[in-house]
Amino acid sequence: MALIKSISGIRGTIGGKTGDNLTPEDVVKFVAAYAQWIKKQGNKQKYTIVVGRDARISGQMVKMLVNATLSGMGIEVLDIDLASTPSTEMAVTHFNADGGLILTASHNPKEWNALKMLNNKGEFLNGDEGKEILEIAEGGAIEYAPVDKLGTVSSTDYHDEHIESILKLDLVDKAQIAAKNFKVVVDGINSVGALIIPDLLRALGVTEIIEINSEANGNFAHPAEPLPENVKVTCEAVKTNKADLGIVVDPDVDRLAFIDENGLMFGEEYTIVAVADYVLRNKPGNTVSNLSSSRALRDVTAQAGGSYFASAVGEVNVVATMKAENAIIGGEGNGGVIYPELHYGRDALVGIALFLTYLAKKDITVSALKKAYPSYTIIKDKITLSPDLDVDKLLDDIAKVYHKEKINRIDGVKIDFDNGWIHLRKSNTEPIIRIYCEAPTSGEAYKLANRMKENINNSFTN
């Protein structure tokens, strides 16, 4: 069905023809290229790579291929098996490894899987590094290890250590969380979140936990992206059980969404807003999110006396900007929280711990907390263009037309208006422009989007 080769990793559907899907041959090819790239980064006799996976059906098969390939390249493998993406990232530095491979297709359906590649800091590779690995894979000059230098595969885990690291954070208050006697519904979407989130909650002192979709078998009970239309049953479970909140994640636990006590979504965009609000109240500083994230983070940052910065879309870009601007917290509007005091990676677990601490300290309901923030609505749309159209020139023309507004060109075109913003990005795989709009109401957001689509159709494509 599909094989997508990009600087951020290799993603595809299982089965089918080599080169068109994520087949065993494709797995071996790209893992060997990654291993060769790792060995180019230093001058060592021994290299170690951590391998973790989510619970999707193909995970065990892909893991065996990955481990065997790394061994064939002379790499020592630390197999932590079922583990969240942030757990695998942290395990790289914990074990002083040279890199890491995460076997997860994140929110994609169960027929998908992917190879996500980490450097020795447990962070995703940048564009130049990813490009180099793709060139090695296509060049075919892979050098495997002789028999006396094959790597070994060792099994370990980083489950408890991840939780313990969160408990040690200054802004996580287990005692206050325990004193609130929260009742929490957890939707583990039949993956690793079902394993680690309940354990985290118990470690934080939460005793009333209602677990749904809790069997980590990869048969996702609903579409895996934590969006309102996908988690209606979970929302109903919060109301039925009279819980204080619900927690929803994606299969690899780097995206986080909350449900309030009334069974209504808190909003993925507001996950980072609420967590940042808590952090900023205790440690003023700068924040970062990508250009397609809510303006609400900018607002709470300004209220706390800090400076907000926007990055290009993509976790690696957010992290780079956070480091450059010395941000104390950052993330993405899809529910990704990045808290550098723990590590530079989106981490639903630390987001949960900080959010619950904030709720406990404020002694407030989830719905009341949401009302304390500026109300914005984001919509996501797209417009299809003719394949021969020069999209880059089109975006340049749009920027010129709106030159009197505040324009950001680091990733497509973002136009900031007084009452909202529009972000236009070209797709790397389709002849389309993605349109993201935010305004105080959905009506205003759709009005902005429709105005831009009309401009493109009537003016820029002529």
Helix ranges (H only) for 55-157 are 59-72, 85-94, 127-139
Q: Kindly tell me the sign of the dihedral angle through the C-alpha atoms of 270, 53, 114, 138.
A: positive
State pTM to two decimals: 0.95
pLDDT, position 453: 86
Q: Tell me how many degrees the CA angle 102-103-105 measures, rounded to the nearest 5.
A: 110
Spatial separation of the C-alpha atoms in residues 278 and 289, rounded to whole Å: 16
**pLDDT per position as a tens digit, 83-97:** 999 999 999 999 999
Equal fold, 3-157 vs 159-373: yes
Beta-bridged to residue 381, according to DSSP, are 435
Spatial separation of the C-alpha atoms in residues 249 and 323, rounded to whole Å: 26
CA distance between the termini of the chain: 35
pLDDT at 140 over 80: no
From 84, 87, 106, 292, the catalytic residue: 106
Which of the pair, 431 or 121, is modelled with greater confidence? 121
Q: How many CB atoms lie within 10 A of CB 451?
A: 12
Write down the architecture of domain 159-373 according to CATH: 3-Layer(aba) Sandwich (3.40)
CA dihedral 7, 191, 166, 174 (to 10 degrees): 150
Beta-bridged to residue 21, according to DSSP, are 18
The type of residue at 450 is N
Half-sphere exposure of 427 (CA within 13 A, CB side): 16
If 0-12 CB within 10 Å is exposed, 13-18 middle and 19+ buried, where does residue 91 land? buried
pLDDT, position 458: 67
What are the sequence ranges of the domains in the chain? 3-157, 159-373, 377-460
DSSP letters for 188-227: -TTSTHHHHHHHHHHHTT--EEEEES---SS--SS-SS--
Distance set, CA 48 to CA 75, 119, 424 (Å): 6, 11, 41
pLDDT, position 462: 54
Q: Any idea which fold 3-157 has?
A: Alpha-D-Glucose-1,6-Bisphosphate; Chain A, domain 3 (3.40.120)
Task: Show Cβ contacts of residue 284 under 8 Å, excluding neighbours closer than 6 positions.
Answer: 304, 305, 306
CB-based contact 75:92 (threshold 8 Å): no
Q: How many CB atoms lie within 10 A of CB 92?
A: 28
CA dihedral 92, 94, 95, 97 (to 10 degrees): 30
pLDDT, position 319: 97
Closest by Cα among 205, 212, 211 to 181: 205
pLDDT at 7 over 80: no
- In this prediction, residues 273-288 reach a mean pLDDT of 97
- Active-site residue, 214 included: no
For the chain, give the percent of residues with pLDDT over 90: 85
Map residue 339 onto helix, strand or coil. Answer: coil
CB-based contact 419:320 (threshold 8 Å): no
Per the prediction, the chain carries an average pLDDT of: 94
CATH assignment of 377-460, among 3.30.310.50, 3.40.640.10, 3.90.1150.10, 3.30.365.10: 3.30.310.50
**pLDDT per position as a tens digit, 352-392:** 999 999 999 999 999 999 999 999 999 988 888 777 788 88
pLDDT, position 253: 97
Residue 209 CA, distance from chain mean position: 25
The type of residue at 347 is D
